[in-house]
Amino acid sequence: MNAVAASDVAQTSEFIAEPYQPEGPTVIDCDVKKIFYGDFLAVRDSVVPVEKHKITAFIGPSGCGKSTVLRSLNRMNDLIPVFRFEGNVIYHGQDIYASNVDPVVVRRYIGMVFQQPNPFSMSIYDNVAFGLKLNKFRGDYDEKVQTALERAALWKEVKDKLKNSGLSLSGGQQQRLCIARAIATEPDVLLMDEPCSALDPIATRQVEELMLELRERFTVGLVTHNMQQATRVGDTTAFFSVDISKSGRTGYLVEMGPTRQVFDDPKEDLTKEYVRGEFS
């Protein structure tokens, strides 16, 4: 055994980021101890507070676990049978991983927009009204649907074809439809998992502007592998990296702070290298 290498290993695998002390009130206090997929340790030791009415950006190289952490915030990962979460995610004083919490309820309060646009194969109207019907909303559906589509900056384009299938729209429009669908029920938090990765630059710009508007009403968690996007819309940024020292590739939080500080004055060398574009 090479003694130097061994000490390196010890150093990186024990590294735990200094916890970020948020300035404002938080909505979700996420404390990941370990996340497993089967035997594979995907993420370890990451404390990520999500602040109210702010956009928390998750950045880092591929496989660093940023998506995994985001998806743990509304128990989407529970769909994967071998997924195992150790730690706690406190949302309004309640650990969402407590045994008495139904993941279905968590997902109604914490909405999600996915990497690939995934409208349902039903009309545009029905897509947006889906969550309203699901929550047995009694009231003016037309108004709620219109408001959601307006907030998603899609109303003007689709107001004359609400009966058309959601799948007949272009990719960028589909993604905004998915955002409208997610915000129609006015969830507390909106999680966005690389929402622009399948979009062209114009649609990306529209969705980014949308995020900034949504921040006024909701709290947003955003995974992106586009660093410019994080600087454009992120209020706080959490930088994750991968730890290849052990048998698997385990992701962990390296640094978290206000976006400007993370990008302009990072505390960790690894962050510095990443934001300079030295690896990705």
Partner 1 sequence: MATNPFQKADSASSITRPPSGGERGTDSVFRGIAYACAGIIVLLVIAILWELGKQALPAMSEYGLGFWYGTTWDVNKEVFGVLPEIWGTLYSSLLALLLGGVFGIAIAIFLTQDFIHQKLALVFRTIVELLAAIPSVVYGLWGIYVLIPVIRPVADWLHTNLGWFPLFGTDLSGPGLAPAALVLAIMILPTVAAISVDAFRRIPYKVKEAAYGMGTTKWEAILKVMLPTASSGILAALVLGFGRALGETMALAMLIGNANQISLSLFAPANTLASLLASSFPEAGAVEVQALMYAALVLLLITFIVNVAGLAVQQYTVRKFEGKQ
Q: Annotate each residue in 79-108 with x if it binds partner 1 (CB under 8 A) or - if it does not, as one string.
A: x------------------------xxxxx
End-to-end CA gap in the chain: 30
Q: Does 111 help bind partner 1 (rule: CB under 8 A)?
A: yes
The residues near 214 (Cβ < 8 Å, ≥ 6 apart) are 151, 179, 183, 190, 220
Residues in 178-207 that interact with partner 1 by CB under 8 A: 178, 181-182
Applying CB under 8 A, which of residues 94, 116, 170, 280 lies at the interface with partner 1? 116
Of the candidate spans 36-44, 73-81, 211-219, 221-229, the one that interacts with partner 1 by CB under 8 A turns out to be 73-81
Could you say whether residue 165 binds partner 1 (CB under 8 A)?
Answer: yes
What φ, ψ does residue 255 adopt, rounded to 5°? Answer: -160, 140
Residue type at position 274: Y
Q: Which helix (H) or strand (E) holds 261?
A: helix 259-264
Pick the closer one to partner 1 by CB: 126 or 255. Answer: 126
Residue identified by tokens 């669908």 is 181
Among 85, 114, 239, 263, binds partner 1 (CB under 8 A): 114
**Nearest distance in Å: CB 148, partner 1:** 13
Grouping H, G, I as helix, E, B as strand and the rest as coil, residue 131 is: helix
Helix residue spans in 41-196 (DSSP H): 66-72, 103-109, 124-134, 141-151, 155-158, 171-183
At its nearest, how many Å lie between partner 1 and the CB of residue 278? Answer: 33
Dihedral sign for Cα 207, 136, 70, 127, please: negative
Closest to partner 1 by CB, 106 vs 199, is 106
Out of 76, 210, 214, 275, point to the residue binding partner 1 (CB under 8 A).
76
Binding partner 1 (rule: CB under 8 A), the pick from 16, 134, 212, 244 is 134
Q: Contact with partner 1 (CB under 8 A): which of 122, 140, 171, 264?
A: 122
E strand spans, the chain: 26-37, 40-51, 55-59, 83-91, 94-95, 110-113, 189-193, 219-223, 236-243, 250-258
Choose, by CB under 8 A, the member of 60, 119, 234, 266 that binds partner 1: 119
Q: How far is the CB of 131 from partner 1 (least distance, A)?
A: 5
Q: Is 5 in the site for partner 1 (CB under 8 A)?
A: no
**DSSP assignment letter at 10:** H
Residues near partner 1, by CB under 8 A: 74, 76, 79, 104-109, 111-112, 114, 116, 118-123, 130-131, 133-135, 164-169, 178, 181-182
